[in-house]
Amino acid sequence: MSLDGTYDDGNIFAKILRGEMPCARVFEDDHVLAFMDVFPQARGHTLVIPKRSQARNLLEEEPQNLTGLILGVQRVAKAVRAALQPEGLVITQFNGAPAGQTVFHLHVHIIPRWEGQAMGRHASGGMADMDELKRLAEQIAAKIS
C-alpha cells in the first residue's frame, strides 16, 4: 500500500484497539496505546499507536493528535530504558509499503539496542512467546512515570 489510499479499520492495530485481538499491553492513556511487538526486532520492542486516529501514516495524522502521540512515545521509551537498561534506543516509523510499513494504522517503534547485539530484520523475524511478552510488558509498565 502506497502513501495514497484509505484507512481500513480491519487492520490488526484497529482490532487491538477495539479489543478484538489480544496484545501484551504496556501503557494506555487518552491518546495512545503501547504494547509489545509480537515479531520483535530486539528484546523489549514496543509499539505506540494513537488511539483516536484513522491515519495510516504520519502524513495523514491530524496535527492536534501529534503532541499526545510523541509525549506517549517519550514516556514509554523512558520506561523501556528504565526497565531493560538498553545502551541505545531506535525510535522509528515507516510510511507506505515501499518504506517498509506492513500495518496501516500509524505507529511508532521503540527498539532497545545493546552494543554488539544485532537488531533483527524488520517484519521478518519469528513470533515471540506471549508469556515472555507479557512479562516484558509488566516490567516496562512498572517503570512508567
Residues at the contact surface with ligand 5GP, assessed by CB under 6 A: 12, 23, 35-39, 94, 100-103, 123
Distance CA 76, CA 21 (A): 21
* Neighbouring C-beta atoms of residue 92, cutoff 10 Å: 12
The H-assigned helical ranges of the chain are 12-17, 63-84, 130-141
| Cβ 16 vs Cβ 112: under 8 Å | no
Q: Which of 31, 45, 105, 107 is catalytic?
A: 107
Instruction: Give 64 or 70: the residue with its C-beta nearer to ligand 5GP.
Output: 70
Q: How far is the CB of 109 from ligand 5GP (least distance, A)?
A: 6
Q: Is 31 a catalytic residue?
A: no
| Cβ 66 vs Cβ 75: under 8 Å | no
Q: How far is the CB of 36 from ligand 5GP (least distance, A)?
A: 6
C-alpha cell at 127: 513470533
Instruction: Give 99 or 142: the residue with its C-beta nearer to ligand 5GP.
Output: 99
Instruction: Give 11 or 65: the residue with its C-beta nearer to ligand 5GP.
Output: 11
- Catalytic residue numbers? 107
